[in-house]
């Protein structure tokens, strides 16, 4: 079920890179189609949204149906079971506590010349949250994308989810209500991203768009970046698990399956220095997956993108991990500290046998919106800072401009920018 690679053999790096890049090739660019959609929505607003809903969802409706009414929100959210409400409330509180600890602090100081220098954090005014519908309809997506914005101080949070003519998940609406979302729209796809970007009669224009989606949504977010901010362009979800002979193969198999059931393009990777463990995990994968409700999805994911890697020692395993730069990284080995210190590239790290990735998806506290496809080498997961703007402030004193001005002039003239130099000269010119 899992492809096997020996990390100690020649051409290992080449073979690994081929497998890692395979998903990128499959995820073909949708940019050409998406550009047309975006431009049409920009020009035609609600009319375009309704036309695309008719085309893609086979739904005929009016502009009045684009947005959930207050009564609809109240009625639908009330259908959420008490048990599920308690779990959502618990997750909300834990995620919020963690994100409150991320708050950046503005600062200012005076240097020895009396110049005032400062750094100021200001929340963006509005955010649009995209929540997938259909089989991937998760209240956890609402919480993870809204709470950092709430903590940052974003005043207006809006949400959209594919819901026209579809049965909506009440838990999504309950979570949105819990987060104080101002308006909820019933539109999905690339056209909803365009609507958030430019605004329509119904859709509010936002400063930043966050949230996961299919290939069209990802392409649309990439296309509108610059007109609005975005969180990231995320690919299919992934996990890498490092385990040694002390790990429980049953547990490791279940964690690989948990990732695989997300999507047929999800990637589950096991790395171990113990061949017996790898063999046991592969056996238990076959046993456990049989009764899985999402058997078809998980089996395709494991068959096409699942991978077992054998490598003889911790150092070589660590090198492989940092090269993969996984979205999620589970470490189930005796010497946890070695990896705690050595892992440089990973979206989120789960340490020890009692830390399955699933707890991070829901309520551990850290955000589950994480970099994928190796982008953990240069980017991070969603945080409060993603909803804050950073401003630098400079107030020069008379002494300051006089004492520092000559160096500014030297630098400006070196760069052949005489206008820059002169703007300082006029301020320090002696009578």
Tokens at 140, concatenated: 């956890």
Q: What angle do CA 357, 359, 363 make, to 5 degrees?
A: 140
Q: How far is CA 397 from the centre of its chain?
A: 43
Range 201-205, long-range pairs (CB < 8 A, 24+ positions): 201/45, 201/46, 201/63, 202/46, 202/49, 202/63, 202/66, 202/67, 203/46, 203/49, 203/66, 203/158, 203/160, 204/126, 204/128, 204/156, 204/158, 205/126
Counted residue by residue, the chain has a size of 431
Find out whether 241 and 332 touch, Cβ atoms under 8 Å. Answer: yes
Tokens at 256, concatenated: 């690989």
Rounded-to-integer distance, Cα 241 and Cα 377, Å: 18
Q: Is 334 exposed, middle or buried (0-12, 13-18, 19+ CB in 10 A)?
A: exposed
DSSP 8-class letter at 204: P
Give the contacts of 261 (CB within 8 A, at least 6 positions apart): 292, 294, 297, 298, 301
Q: How far is CA 47 from the centre of its chain?
A: 31
Rounded-to-integer distance, Cα 188 and Cα 110, Å: 50
Question: Positive or negative CA dihedral for 52, 57, 62, 64?
Answer: negative
Rounded-to-integer distance, Cα 17 and Cα 167, Å: 41
Rounded-to-integer distance, Cα 171 and Cα 76, Å: 8
Instruction: Spot the catalytic one: 262, 328, 330, 368.
Output: 328
- Residue recorded with tokens 């809204």: 146
Beta bridge partners of 242: 271, 331
Q: Which of 181, 209, 239, 276 is nearest to 376 (CA)?
A: 239
Catalytic (active site) residue 191: no
Instruction: Spot the catalytic one: 327, 330, 357, 368.
Output: 327
Catalytic (active site) residue 368: no
Give the residue numbers marked as catalytic. Answer: 327-328
């Amino acid at each position: 079920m899992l492809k096997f690679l020996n990390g100690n053999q020649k051409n290992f790096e080449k073979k690994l890179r081929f497998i890692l890049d395979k998903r990128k090739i499959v995820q073909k660019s949708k940019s050409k189609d998406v550009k047309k959609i975006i431009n049409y929505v920009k020009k035609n607003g609600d009319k375009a949204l309704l036309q695309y809903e008719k085309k893609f969802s086979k739904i005929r409706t009016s502009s009045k149906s684009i947005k959930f009414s207050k009564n609809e929100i109240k009625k639908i959210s009330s259908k959420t079971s008490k048990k599920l409400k308690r779990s959502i409330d618990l997750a909300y509180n834990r995620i919020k506590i963690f994100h409150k600890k991320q708050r950046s602090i503005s600062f200012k100081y005076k240097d020895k010349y009396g110049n005032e220098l400062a750094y100021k954090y200001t929340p963006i005014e509005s955010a649009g949250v995209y929540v997938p519908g259909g089989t991937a309809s998760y209240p956890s997506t609402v919480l993870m994308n809204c709470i950092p914005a709430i903590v940052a101080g974003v005043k207006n949070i809006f949400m959209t989810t594919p819901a026209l003519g579809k049965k909506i998940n009440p838990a999504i609406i309950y979570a949105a209500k819990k987060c104080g979302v101002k308006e909820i729209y019933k539109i999905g796809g690339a056209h909803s991203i365009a609507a958030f970007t430019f605004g329509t009669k119904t859709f509010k224009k936002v400063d930043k768009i966050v949230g996961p989606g299919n290939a069209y949504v990802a392409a649309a977010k990439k296309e509108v970046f610059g007109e609005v901010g975005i969180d990231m362009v995320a690919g299919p979800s992934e996990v890498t698990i490092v385990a040694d002979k002390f790990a429980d193969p049953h547990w490791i198999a279940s964690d690989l399956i948990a990732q695989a059931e997300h999507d047929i393009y999800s990637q589950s990777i096991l790395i171990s220095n113990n061949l017996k463990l790898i063999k046991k995990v592969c056996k238990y994968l076959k046993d456990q997956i049989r009764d899985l409700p999402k058997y078809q999805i998980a089996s395709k994911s494991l068959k096409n993108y699942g991978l077992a890697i054998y490598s003889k020692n911790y150092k070589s395993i660590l090198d492989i991990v940092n090269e993969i730069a996984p979205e999620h990284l589970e470490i189930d080995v005796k010497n946890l500290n070695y990896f705690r210190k050595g892992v440089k590239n990973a979206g989120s790290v789960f340490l020890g046998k009692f830390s399955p990735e699933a707890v991070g998806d829901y309520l551990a506290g850290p955000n589950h919106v994480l970099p994928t496809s190796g982008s953990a080498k240069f980017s991070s997961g969603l945080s409060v800072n993603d909803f804050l703007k950073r401003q630098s402030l400079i107030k020069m004193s008379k002494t300051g401009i006089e004492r520092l001005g000559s160096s500014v002039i030297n630098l400006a003239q070196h760069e052949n920018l005489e206008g820059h130099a002169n703007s300082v000269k006029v301020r320090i010119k002696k009578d």
